[in-house]
Structure 1
């Protein structure tokens, strides 16, 4: 029995040394000139790239890669759009998230798009405090209204657009 215990301890010691590793020294050997790598002899496969340019000179100065970028470069990118902004973006306004923001998003979904920023005050069931919060943001020109964009409302779910 005693030999078996000694053998088990020896196996554990060898295993632990194998797992942890032993220090080894590296020795560099001189290389011949044939072994060295030279960028002068390097040949890479060529590929063609397609670059599209707009015929409009204004667009050439600030190219837009897609519809989402085009919309973000407008007022939509600077303000909160009542017709297109997801629910979570209203968190930056104190007192809006989640209750008032849900009312704003759901009203647009149920009743149709907002025509003007002031239409947000027509949401039924708003408390006086909520109306004051909305009016303060309208006065600060924090909101905008643009036509509903499929690019920013993919899946028609502004409450959970899948952005985490």
Structure 2
């Protein structure tokens, strides 16, 4: 520990001495001559997932959200969220109330949160493989 502190103190002394001895300071880069021709570069970098996320506007898409997206809703993660995912696709939000095997409390939770959901066309970007059950975020 003493050795580490000694090294840090030495580095601080060296950096400080450069400033005192007159080593030229870094100058800001003049960006006034840079001219961006077009914003089409941003459009090229968008992908299917970005387009889908902008379409749902902060709601949970019953046909495309993964199991972890339901963590913010009390009583959904992981059991009820898994049932929702297994029974997709849905035509309309209310279809989620028709999932077979739901308990009364699960139906009540779903009913209370219908405003938090949206249904869009299933996207390959979110439904390929088992990504909705295990999105690989650890």
Into which bin does the TM-score normalised by the smaller protein fall?
Answer: 0.5 to 0.7
Alignment of 1:161 with 2:135, yes or no, is yes
Contact 1:154 1:161 in 2 (8 A): no
Partner of 2:59: 79
TM-score with structure 1 setting the length: 0.58
Distance 1:162 1:38 in 2: 42
Offset, 1:99: 1.2
Distance 1:37 1:88 in 2: 49
Distance 1:87 1:135 in 2: 19
TM-score with structure 2 setting the length: 0.68
Partner of 2:33: none
Distance 1:95 1:77 in 2: 23
Write out aligned runs for 1:12-161 (5 A). 53=40, 63=43, 65-74=46-55, 76-108=56-88, 113-138=89-114, 141-161=115-135
Offset, 1:68: 1.9
| 2:122 partner SS | coil
CA 1:80–1:50 in 2, change beyond 3 Å: closer, same or farther? Answer: same
Please identify which structure carries the higher helix content: 2
Q: How many residues align?
A: 122
Unaligned runs of 5+ in 1: 1-17, 40-48, 55-61
Contact 1:91 1:97 in 2 (8 A): yes
Contact 1:81 1:146 in 2 (8 A): yes
CA 1:94–1:163 in 2, change beyond 3 Å: closer, same or farther? Answer: same
Higher RCO structure, 1 or 2 (CA under 8 Å, sep 6+): 2
RMSD: 3.7
CA 1:135–1:52 in 2, change beyond 3 Å: closer, same or farther? Answer: same
Offset, 1:50: 9.2
